[in-house]
């Protein structure tokens, strides 16, 4: 039976993985706004490439590393419980670079049906053009997963909680199925929970991918992504990042590092408001269904209770009045604002059919299982009761 491991403590997030002293002796690692780094002599140059240089955070050329970025990566590795972590210019840069580093033509990728649309499109459409086959399976359906696995399956990409239905597959069981195929690796995107809620590497994943744009940075003001895992796999991704140039900018790295300092406190509020809103919506006369793993009615309630330390602030629900009802709620809220994304201080709301899945049209959405009346609320850091009251008043 899979069990929870302790969540990273606020002390470890604030303290670990960072240099004890930084240039200028300030507390935060400063923004080193530099693309090229020079060496005093060739001896120093050689020591840098041999990995024996005294300053492990120094750089050579900005596309390969930068002191501010490297320091953030140390903290991300510690947060994920990983040997190493890499940062990227966005969550999608992290995901696509990781996938491209690990698959080749003739291989096969399996991914979850309810998952981030751009990841799915990248695998099914873009990779398909390069001779990589793919199969989409129901999150957590182990029989479907086992049936989808082929000798040439190289990657299984899972998400937990998924977006927008907050499915939380038993990823330890998923990892066991994946390990039965020689050479297959499990990548998990647990952005919706943040590493506070779920650390994929502790549950059998080979690589953990995060959109740092969301909870890690936490302020709706910067894009970023990360990949964490064992040294041998991460080094393949690092190699490709140097070629694709999907590097994080030092100013963005500074903002994400600052976000990490308050991650633990912020997640407490996001988690609590998500639960309160889900409970308030369940059974509401205007609401057909609420999707949140804290609810006993959710198919993955038990798994989430066993494996997660909170599933974040995203809650989705279906208006009984369909798309018109979803639009009305979004137009009537006073605190929440209509917008994509989640993980920042301001609560966001979206009619899913008109935001994340607009281009698909009603038939395309039905084929993907996206209900027309679906509303997604990304609870922010306002007072919990204010967010709940805002949505309830809009539904009244």
Q: Give the residue, chosen from 132, 223, 281, 315, that forms a contact with ligand PLP under the rule CB under 6 A.
A: 223
- Residue 95 Cβ, how far from ligand PLP at the closest point, in Å? 6
Which one, of 190, 238, 235, 237, lies nearest residue 216 by Cα?
A: 190
Using rule CB under 6 A, residue 211 touches ligand PLP: yes
DSSP calls for 118-184: HHHHIIIIIHHHTT-EEEEE-TT-HHHHHHH--TTEEEEEEESS-TTT-----HHHHHHHHHTSTT-
Select the residue interacting with ligand PLP from 98, 163, 273, 303 (CB under 6 A): 163
* Residue 273: CB minimum distance to ligand PLP, A: 18
Query: SS3 for 316?
Result: strand
CB of 248 to ligand PLP, least distance (A): 11
Helix (H/G/I), strand (E/B), else coil: 200 = helix
Window 326 to 355, contacts with ligand PLP (CB under 6 A): 341
Minimum CB–partner distance for residue 55 and ligand PLP (Å): 30
Beta-sheet strands, E only, within the chain = 84-88, 108-112, 133-137, 153-159, 185-189, 207-211, 225-229, 287-291, 314-319, 337-338, 348-351, 374-378
Tell me how far, at minimum, the Cβ of 334 lies from ligand PLP, in Å. Answer: 25
Per 3-state DSSP, the chain is made up of helix, strand and coil in percentages (nearest 5) of 40, 15, 45
The Cα–Cα gap between 392 and 313 comes to: 16
Site for ligand PLP contains 92 (CB under 6 A): yes
Nearer to ligand PLP, 219 or 332 (CB): 219
Q: Is 116 in the site for ligand PLP (CB under 6 A)?
A: yes
**Candidate ranges 90-98, 169-177, 239-247, 301-309; the one touching ligand PLP (CB under 6 A):** 90-98
Options 70, 78, 87, 90; binder of ligand PLP; rule CB under 6 A: 90
Query: Interface residues with ligand PLP (CB under 6 A)?
Result: 90-92, 116, 159, 163, 189, 191-192, 211, 213, 223, 225, 341
């Amino acid at each position: 039976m899979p069990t929870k491991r302790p969540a990273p403590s606020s002390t470890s997030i604030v303290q670990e993985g960072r240099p004890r002293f930084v240039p200028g002796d300030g507390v935060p690692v400063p923004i080193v706004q530099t693309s090229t780094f020079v060496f005093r002599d060739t001896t120093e140059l050689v020591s840098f490439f041999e990995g024996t240089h005294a300053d492990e955070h120094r750089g050579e050329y900005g596309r390969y590393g930068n002191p501010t970025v490297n320091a953030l990566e140390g903290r991300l590795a510690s947060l994920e419980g990983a040997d190493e972590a890499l940062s990227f210019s966005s969550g999608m840069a992290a995901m696509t670079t990781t996938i491209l580093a690990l698959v080749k033509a003739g291989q096969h990728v399996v991914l979850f049906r309810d998952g981030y649309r751009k990841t799915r499109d990248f695998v099914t459409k873009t990779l398909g053009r390069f001779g990589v086959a793919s199969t989409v399976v129901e999150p957590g359906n182990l029989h479907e997963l086992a049936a989808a696995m082929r000798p040439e399956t190289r990657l299984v990409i899972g998400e937990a909680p998924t977006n927008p239905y907050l499915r939380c597959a038993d990823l330890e069981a998923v990892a066991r199925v994946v390990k039965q195929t020689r050479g297959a690796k499990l990548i998990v995107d647990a952005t919706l929970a943040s590493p506070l809620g779920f650390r994929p590497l502790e549950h059998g994943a080979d690589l953990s991918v995060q959109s740092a744009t969301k909870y890690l940075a936490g302020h709706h003001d910067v894009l970023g992504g990360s990949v964490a895992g064992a040294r041998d796999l991460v080094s393949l991704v690092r190699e490709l990042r140097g070629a694709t140039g999907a590097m994080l900018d030092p100013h963005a790295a500074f903002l994400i590092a600052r976000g990490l300092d308050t991650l633990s406190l912020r997640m407490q509020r996001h988690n609590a408001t998500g639960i309160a809103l889900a409970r308030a919506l369940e059974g509401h006369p205007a609401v057909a269904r609420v999707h949140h793993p804290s609810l006993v009615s959710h198919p993955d309630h038990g798994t989430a209770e066993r494996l997660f330390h909170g599933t974040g602030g995203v809650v989705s629900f279906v208006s009984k009045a369909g798309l018109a009802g979803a639009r009305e709620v979004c137009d009537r809220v006073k605190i929440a604002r209509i917008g994509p994304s989640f993980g920042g201080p301001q609560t966001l709301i979206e009619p899913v059919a008109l935001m994340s899945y607009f281009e698909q049209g009603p038939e395309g959405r039905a084929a993907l299982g996206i209900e027309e009346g679906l509303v997604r609320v990304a609870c922010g850091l306002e007072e919990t009761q204010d967010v709940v009251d805002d949505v309830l008043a809009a539904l009244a």
